[in-house]
Amino acid sequence: MVTKILLIDDEELFREDFALLLRNEGYKCLTAASAEEGLETVKNEFPDIIFADIVMPGKSGIDILEDINRINSEGSIIIMTSYGTLETAIKAFRFGAIDYILKPIEFEEVLIKIERIIQHKKLLNEVKFLRKEVFENAEEFSFVGKSEPIKNVKELINKVGPTNSTVLINGESGTGKEVVAQAIHQVNDNADKPFIAINCSSLQENLLESELFGHVKGAFTGAIKDKVGFMEAAGEGTIFLDEISEIPITLQSKLLRVLEQREFYRVGGTKKFPLNARIITSTNRNLKESIKNGDFREDLFYRIAVFEIDLVPLRKRIEDIPLLIEYFIKKFNNEMKKKYISVSSDSMKAMMNYNWPGNIRELRNVIERAMILCDDKTITLNGLPSQIKGTAQIANKSKSLKTTINLYEKSYITQILKENNWNKEETARILEINSSTLYRKITELGISEEN
């Protein structure tokens, strides 16, 4: 794509000569004889680079800098003048110019500046593309699907992502908590900064503290030199503390102090370091239960749970299973050079009826295994693990009228309860049954707020 350059200058001979030189270099060059005319050209053409003279009849080049930036924020403005002063340069930069050149211009110098701007824009576009690509790739575990829970998660990510608020992600193992954390990071302005994930359950207490905060030489046996911790290395990026419930209670107090004061010390050190990174945490446990049991600090919970995102297990979003299966088939067709195009009806039924204790991670592994075992065209029951095959037979035997009615009744009553915030009296009124009948059905059908 040809770079579009606008020259705003009241000196006709200089303007046209400059434009001719730029056109000879292959650039598309537009011209304007006044600030007002230049502003109109910006509105209509959205040039990539704008050269604007400072001294012109009427408005000066500096007078329109803010308007140009407001209309065309992607444009790069270079101010030109025959009368260069430090004050003028500072004012130009303050109002949005990115560079400053003196007349008479050195054309070779101008070409170097233009090329630098073009290369910088290319880098910015590459970063934007990579951020978009990473966010789209994050669909692998969490974002494929059209169920209400997934729509809600996407909405919450888009709302909290641009902020720097601390986020707590709740969900069973395999539901994609780290991918959600990555997605939050990717929609933030600091997406080009580091994203560091730490599995708190995989490190011993003394090692975890050193990994988080770093240590100084001699802090403990084996500390033969200073070490930079993750909180320092992350800079203005994101630190993801996965399974934060596994942090020992003694270290929880130190972490709380760091989060509150936004500063920390290396283990064994006396120098303070600022915490500039955003903190995202996750857990597969009920932290409020852990608080009751004395395993997790209540004050730390309220510090990390500024904004919570709950990931529902796969068994509660079964309508997404066919879409996830389709996604994984496409993924593994590409990776394994396979040509699968479908899933047999009994295989689909089995997978729809399976409980998926390992959630989406388990489904991913099941599809990969099946695509290795089957005939390269269709995933059949023969490619599925025995515990999933059995659900097809159970499902076929259990489709009695009574079972079907009970399943529908449970689903409908649960829906009305949710719509009324689990107000049982209001739900009974809407269903036109008395409260005692509703309570009985809730018990018989096994309805709870966790359904």
User: Taking Cα atoms as reference points, which of 266, 270, 300, 271 lies closest to residue 283?
Assistant: 300
What gap in Å lies between CA 391 and CA 305, rounded to an integer?
38
Tokens of 93: 């930069």
Instruction: State residue 99 phi and psi, 5-degree precision.
Output: -160, 175
Q: Which fold has domain 4-126?
A: Rossmann fold (3.40.50)
Give the pLDDT confidence score for residue 296 in this predicted structure: 95
Q: At residue 74, what is the residue type?
A: E
Mean pLDDT of 60-77: 83
DSSP single-letter state for residue 267: B
Give the pLDDT confidence score for residue 221 in this predicted structure: 82
Give the pLDDT confidence score for residue 314 in this predicted structure: 93
Tokens of 311: 């990931």
User: Taking Cα atoms as reference points, which of 418, 410, 414, 407 lies closest to residue 353?
Assistant: 407
**Lowest-confidence pick of 15-29, 243-257, 335-349:** 335-349
Is pLDDT larger for residue 238 or for residue 443? 238
Tokens of 338: 């396979």
Q: Based on C-alpha coordinates, what's the Rg of the chain?
A: 31
Distances (CA, A) of 58 to 36, 61, 124, 291: 8, 10, 35, 69
User: Taking Cα atoms as reference points, which of 154, 252, 266, 260 lies closest to residue 218?
Assistant: 266
Q: At residue 416, what is the residue type?
A: I
- Asked if residue 120 has pLDDT above 80, the reply is no
Spacing of C-alpha 49 from chain mean position: 31
From the options 2.30.29, 3.30.460, 1.10.10, 1.10.287, give the CATH code of 401-445. 1.10.10
Instruction: State residue 67 phi and psi, 5-degree precision.
Output: -65, -40
Tokens of 262: 């936004």
* Residue pair 75/48 in contact by the 8 Å Cβ criterion: yes
Q: Examine domains 4-126 and 148-312 and report if their fold is the same.
A: yes
Distances (CA, A) of 344 to 145, 314, 360, 371, 414: 20, 21, 20, 13, 32
* Residue pair 178/197 in contact by the 8 Å Cβ criterion: yes
Q: Is CATH 1.10.8.60 the right assignment for the domain spanning 316-397?
A: yes
Mean pLDDT of 94-101: 82
Give the pLDDT confidence score for residue 125 in this predicted structure: 60
Q: What count of other Cβ atoms lies within 10 Å of the Cβ of residue 407?
A: 13
| Pairing, β 214-215 against β 227-228 | antiparallel
pLDDT band at 451 (very low <50, low <70, confident <90, very high): low
What gap in Å lies between CA 271 and CA 274, rounded to an integer?
10
Residues 167-189 have pLDDT tens digits of: 999 999 999 899 899 999 988 99
Is pLDDT larger for residue 69 or for residue 114? 114
Could you tell me the residue ranges of all domains in the chain? 4-126, 148-312, 316-397, 401-445
- For the domain made up of 148-312, the CATH class stated in words is alpha beta
Burial string for 157-195 (b: 16+ CB within 10 Å, else e) reads beebbeebebbbbbbbebbbbbbbbbbbbbbbebbebeb
| Pairing, β 49-53 against β 167-170 | unpaired
Residues 142-175 have pLDDT tens digits of: 567 778 888 899 899 999 999 999 999 999 999 9
- Asked if residue 312 has pLDDT above 60, the reply is yes
Residues 356-401 have pLDDT tens digits of: 999 999 999 999 999 999 988 899 999 999 888 876 554 444 444 4
What is the separation, in whole angstroms, between the first and last Cα of the chain?
54
Q: Which residues are paired to 76 by β-bridges? A: 49
